[in-house]
Structure 1
């Protein structure tokens, strides 16, 4: 089911974003 893949990817991105923000590192190039 593609929707499951999308949800998994979204969770991964959110976790990565949270970790970067918690480290005080906020840059669009770092998120990608």
Structure 2
């Protein structure tokens, strides 16, 4: 891939991971009875 491809992949995965964590946190906070 090269340095740019690796950096792009890491950035993309970090963004997706943060979004997923944010969604899970929001769901958990909105549904405290889980």
User: Shared topology, TM-score over 0.5?
Assistant: yes
Give the aligned CA root-mean-square deviation in angstroms. Answer: 1.3
- Bigger radius of gyration among the two: 2
Q: Which structure has more RCO (C-alpha within 8 Å, separation ≥ 6)?
A: 1
- Structure 1: runs of 5 or more not aligned: 26-32
Question: TM-score scaled by structure 2?
Answer: 0.68
Segments of 4+ in structure 1 off by > 3 A?
A: none
